[in-house]
Amino acid sequence: MSEPRAPRDGAAVLETDLFVPAREARFLEVPAGRILQIVDVEGHQVGDFVAFRAGDRSEYLSPAHTCSCLTKLIPQVGDRLYSNHRTPLLEIERDDVGTHDFVVPCCDAERYSVDYGIHDHANCRDSLQRGAVEAGLDERIRGELAANIFMHNVVTSEGRIETRRPEQVAGAAIDMLVLEDLVVGLVACPQDLSPCNDFDPTSMALRVWRPE
């Protein structure tokens, strides 16, 4: 486990340090006002992230609405992430990486079956669904709800989406101020057949900090 890097130049207290093993998902509740930190523990790893409003889980983080509200494909420091009702849920305060994908849905069983001919491969959607059930949530996880944090996808001059190897090193993180009480989930993506995770899925972490 990497040494926690405090946000806001150390003016915060670590409340939760939740390890997310490779190919698995974890969920937790985060109150408004906290700083949520998503950490790449070992480097070159993508995490698929979902969030729901704690008081009304029919409202959730929507990557598509976020792109629409921001009129950009990749959120940056200072940008907010929006719900399906265009409510700001999180605000990016610091980002060690800067590459994320808010267009492509998370990987699912059909992705490996259709594209690779593999019918029993671990995938983000199923891992998130198991994690939600283990956390006592009854939400049905859909692939388009997940934001692909640290995913290095680029649009080529021909308009195609190309997946490249993530360049970040161990301990790289994104810090987000939580604007509403949320239930969040993260899966350390199991994709090992493309450069998505440098062909070797590894662990991540969810950390919750209380600003001082």
> What whole-number percentage of the chain has pLDDT above 90?
90
Residue 1: the pLDDT is 59
- Give how far Cα 78 sits from Cα of 33, 74, 90, 98, Å: 16, 12, 10, 12
pTM for this one? 0.95
- Mind listing the pLDDT tens digit for each residue in 23-49? 999 999 999 999 999 999 999 999 999
184 sits in which H/E element: strand 182-188
- Separation between Cα atoms, residue 94 and residue 132, nearest integer Å: 27
Distance between first and last Cα of the chain: 24
Residue 84: the pLDDT is 98
- Mind listing the pLDDT tens digit for each residue in 150-203? 999 999 989 999 999 999 999 999 999 999 999 999 999 999 999 999 999 999
Residue 71: the pLDDT is 98
pLDDT higher than threshold 70 for residue 121: yes
Torsional sign, CA 144, 154, 186, 64 = negative
pLDDT band at 2 (very low <50, low <70, confident <90, very high): low
Give the three-state DSSP class for 39.
Answer: strand
- Mind listing the pLDDT tens digit for each residue in 50-67? 999 999 999 999 999 999
Beta strand 47-53 pairing with 56-60: antiparallel
Mean pLDDT of the chain: 95
